[in-house]
Structure 1
Amino acid sequence: MTDLTAAHITRNARRTRTGLMGYLDLYRQRRALAHMDDAQLTDLGLTKAEAQQEADRPVWDAPNHWQR
């Protein structure tokens, strides 16, 4: 039987954020952020400058909560 508890899902999500695939996902997210229009950025509560600043970060500059 598959374990689908919240703790199990959270543990697995943390694991997938690290490593090559995690960084590839981060790269894709930042590229998508850079291509969003003003309406989409407003929905996220971001300005164009904030979105561009995040998109310009290098892929190895992962968010602090990704650190183990």
Structure 2
Amino acid sequence: MDRTLNPAAAKPTATAKPTHWPLRILAMITVWRRNARTRRQLARLDDRQLADAGISSCDRDMELDKPFWRE
């Protein structure tokens, strides 16, 4: 029996390839929720708390202007 590779036989089919798109969508939604939550927390900080964290009010405003899907 000849054991040479057949390129057509080595090619995976569409059904053989595992799809992980549900996990990618779940990970993306998790990041979006974290972004929204941390920005809400950032919005509640007063000037003293911002200074303690080393964040200027301008930096905070720039972060709060971002949509939840951007990091």
1:36 aligns with 2:45: yes
**1:56 CA displacement:** 1.3
Counterparts of 1:22 and 1:48, CA distance in 2: 24
Counterparts of 1:34 and 1:52, CA distance in 2: 8
User: What TM-score, normalized to structure 1?
Assistant: 0.58
Structure 1 or 2, whichever has the larger Rg, is: 2
**1:43 CA displacement:** 1.1
User: What TM-score, normalized to structure 2?
Assistant: 0.56
Identity %: 35
Stretches of structure 2 lacking an aligned partner (at least 5 in a row): 1-23
Stretches of structure 1 lacking an aligned partner (at least 5 in a row): 1-14, 63-68
Flag as ranges the 4+ runs of structure 1 deviating above 3 A.
none
- 2:33: which partner in 1? 24
**1:29 CA displacement:** 0.2
Counterparts of 2:42 and 2:64, CA distance in 1: 6
**1:28 CA displacement:** 0.8
Structure number with higher helix proportion:
1
